[in-house]
Amino acid sequence: MTSFRALLSVSDKTGLEAFAHKLVAAGGELIASGGTARKLVEAGIPVLQVEDVTSFPEILGGRVKTLHPAIHGGILARRTPQHLDELERHNIRPIDLVVVNLYPFQKTIAQANVSLATAIEEIDIGGVALLRAAAKNHESVTVVCDPADYEAVADAFAAGGVGAHLRRRLAVKAFQHTAEYDTAIAAYLADQVGDDRPAASAASATALPIALHLDLKLIQRNRYGENPHQQGGLYGYAGEPSAFEVLHGKEMSYNNWLDLDGAWTAAQDFAEPTVAIIKHGNPCGLASADSLEEAYDKAFASDPVSAFGGILAVNRTFNLATAQRTADLFLEVIVAPAYEPEALALLRKKKNVRILLHSGAATRPLSLRSIVGGVLVQELDRSEEDMNPLRWRVVSRRQPGPEQLADLAFAWRVARHVKSNAIVYVKDCATVGVGAGQMSRVDSVMMAGHKAGERSRGAVMASDAFFPFADGIEAAAKHGILAIVQPGGSVRDDEVIAKVDELGLVMCFTGARHFRH
């Protein structure tokens, strides 16, 4: 009589043979289905076919294999006299170990041009039932869904049996695995629904899903949330790689992650070498140039005081020249798509800076924000049509010159990364003053002018939404702004344009706004 019975049915056969050998050596009798059984037979490992246990063949092309009382009775039976007697009356033996991983549904749908029929055939039924049954009865049964756990389980059986703590941990893992699996299926099928989905807006070809399935896993517990009295943590999408890897420094805080998101998104929005320095959710410096080090110099010059303790993101490999320029500046976080080895070595000398590497993971197209009673969902603001100055309407008598138009285009792109009411002063494709988050647009104009000082003379200005009154234009002119880009659309547009012409300024309308709350 063997000491335990194990059922194996795996799609991913990584480490299977070595694991099976260890189980047999520990006194296990193996039962396996389909391809798993063939793999073990080829390796010379003694194994019973599922049909040897059920006395019933696989049917429907393998759709039904393990869905049988001889299998599920052996898994679900509690080790009580009543259940064991009932198993004996029906000639069923208990199963002590269930090893299952599921058909690769997620990998299948990730491939290009996969048909719905193909995806449907990759929906595992029997495997999910086995995992849930074993996990439910983890008081008596060990369930394994990840080859990474093979060694620990095999060692435990060799030592006399799996302890209660490990059985429970593996059960939790199995339920998480099936939950992720079902979430992926539900999300995929919901995306296939066509006619009953809400129509996409005229500005977008993407319809919001009628149901949004989220499966998030804790990546990191933060020391606290925004404040010490709040708990906080970072969660990632299950089954997807983390977007960033911490190469150096202590763990990120809740606020670090928020500012990192803003910095990374802003820097990646530009084609030229770009540096974004973010402080409390807003750019204090953002610049593009022919080289990364020049872009850094210009971004830092935008607001050197606020840059202290900021988050710095770039859209190019972080090079040594740029690293040398940051040597005397305290930064909370630096993030880049790659690092030159010499640059990384130099940056690591800064004890308190956190250095992060972007993994290359794609950004999800939706933004989610919790509110009382629900979650607000929207597409990310990635519009490109209004970013092209050739599509703008020049509404002033004075026409913009080529350099002005380039700065206006840069300022307009920056504005969508600044919290409303957003005003951005720009000169030579670099911010020189930013006004953010004010309740009055004219206050944002004056704040940006205060930050810029004399650098605002001859600069251009972008506003994320229209000017409701001409006072914002007057304030900008006092700071030396020569050209303005804004969406237009106010009932007082004529008054605003008249003031622009009176002051001899340039004004362009984009026809689109970029609020960021």
Is 389 within the bounds of a domain? yes
Residues 446 and 306 in one domain: no
Q: So what's the pLDDT on residue 217? A: 83
Q: So what's the pLDDT on residue 206? A: 53
| Owning domain of residue 154 | 4-189
Q: Quick one: average pLDDT of 77-106?
A: 82
Local structure of 220: helix, strand or coil = strand
Predicted confidence (pLDDT) per residue in 428-447, tens digit:
999 999 999 999 999 999 99
Q: Quick one: average pLDDT of 306-315?
A: 96
Among 194-203, 382-391, 408-417, 498-507, the range scoring the smallest mean pLDDT is: 194-203
Residues 112 and 255 in one domain: no
Count of Cβ atoms closer than 10 Å to residue 269 Cβ: 19
Among 96-110, 185-199, 216-230, 259-273, the range scoring the smallest mean pLDDT is: 185-199
Q: Quick one: average pLDDT of 124-136?
A: 85
**In contact, 367 and 261? CB cutoff 8 Å:** no
Residue tagged active-site, from 83, 136, 173, 248: 136
Q: Quick one: average pLDDT of 289-295?
A: 97
User: Residue 111 — very low, low, confident or very high, per pLDDT cuts 50/70/90?
Assistant: confident
User: Residue 207 — very low, low, confident or very high, per pLDDT cuts 50/70/90?
Assistant: low
Q: So what's the pLDDT on residue 502? A: 97
Q: Quick one: average pLDDT of 478-506?
A: 97
Is 280 a residue of the active site? yes
Q: What does residue 318 show for φ and ψ, rounded to 5 degrees? A: -70, 115
Residues 321 and 416 in one domain: no
pLDDT at 199 over 80: no
pLDDT at 205 over 60: no
Local structure of 447: helix, strand or coil = helix
Tell which of 323, 343, 358 closes a domain: 358
Among 195-204, 280-289, 294-303, 371-380, the range scoring the smallest mean pLDDT is: 195-204
Residues 351 and 421 in one domain: no
Q: Which residues pair with 430 in a beta bridge?
A: 287
Q: So what's the pLDDT on residue 313? A: 98
DSSP 117-182: HHHHHT--SHHHHHHHHHHHTTTT-EEE--GGGHHHHHHHHHTT---HHHHHHHHHHHHHHHHHHH
Is 43 within the bounds of a domain? yes
Residues 116 and 154 in one domain: yes
Q: So what's the pLDDT on residue 431? A: 98
User: Residue 195 — very low, low, confident or very high, per pLDDT cuts 50/70/90?
Assistant: very low
Residues 121 and 86 in one domain: yes
Predicted confidence (pLDDT) per residue in 17-76, tens digit:
888 888 888 888 888 887 788 888 888 888 788 777 776 777 776 677 677 787 888 888
Is 311 within the bounds of a domain? yes
User: Residue 93 — very low, low, confident or very high, per pLDDT cuts 50/70/90?
Assistant: confident
Among 6-20, 80-94, 357-371, the range scoring the smallest mean pLDDT is: 80-94
Who contacts 166 (Cβ-Cβ below 8 Å, separation ≥6)?
142, 152, 153, 156
Q: So what's the pLDDT on residue 94? A: 85
Who contacts 89 (Cβ-Cβ below 8 Å, separation ≥6)?
none
Is 198 within the bounds of a domain? no
pLDDT at 339 over 90: yes
Residues 318 and 262 in one domain: yes
216-221 and 233-237 as β-strands: parallel, antiparallel, unpaired?
Answer: antiparallel
Q: So what's the pLDDT on residue 203? A: 47
Is 21 within the bounds of a domain? yes
Residues 248 and 324 in one domain: yes
Tell which of 358, 393, 422 closes a domain: 358
Most confident of 84-93, 108-117, 204-213: 84-93
Residues 328 and 408 in one domain: no
**In contact, 3 and 27? CB cutoff 8 Å:** yes
> How many angstroms separate the Cα of 227 from the Cα of each of 231, 232, 370?
8, 9, 18
Residues 183 and 265 in one domain: no
CATH of the domain at 444: 3.40.140.20
**In contact, 143 and 174? CB cutoff 8 Å:** yes
Residue tagged active-site, from 21, 22, 280, 358: 280
Is 200 within the bounds of a domain? no
Most confident of 101-110, 120-129, 142-151, 386-395: 386-395
Q: Quick one: average pLDDT of 475-491?
A: 97
Most confident of 70-79, 110-119, 375-384, 479-488: 479-488
Q: What is the pTM of this model?
A: 0.74
Q: So what's the pLDDT on residue 181? A: 78
Q: Where do the H-state alpha helices sit in 149-291? A: 150-158, 164-192, 254-268
Q: So what's the pLDDT on residue 193? A: 63
Give me the chain's average pLDDT, please.
88
Q: Quick one: average pLDDT of 407-411?
A: 98
Tell which of 358, 375, 404 closes a domain: 358
Residues 343 and 244 in one domain: yes
Is 231 within the bounds of a domain? no
Among 109-113, 257-261, 385-389, 399-403, the range scoring the smallest mean pLDDT is: 109-113
Q: Read off the amino acid at residue 71.
A: I
Is 136 a residue of the active site? yes
Predicted confidence (pLDDT) per residue in 360-389, tens digit:
887 878 899 999 999 999 989 999 999 999
Residues 244 and 390 in one domain: no
pLDDT at 307 over 70: yes
User: Residue 257 — very low, low, confident or very high, per pLDDT cuts 50/70/90?
Assistant: very high
pLDDT at 197 over 50: no
How many helical (H) and strand (E) elements, i.e. helices and strands, does the chain have? 19, 21
CATH of the domain at 35: 3.40.50.1380
Our count of domains for the chain comes to 3
Read off the DSSP letter of residue 453. Answer: G
Q: How far is CA 315 from the centre of its chain?
A: 18
Is 213 within the bounds of a domain? no
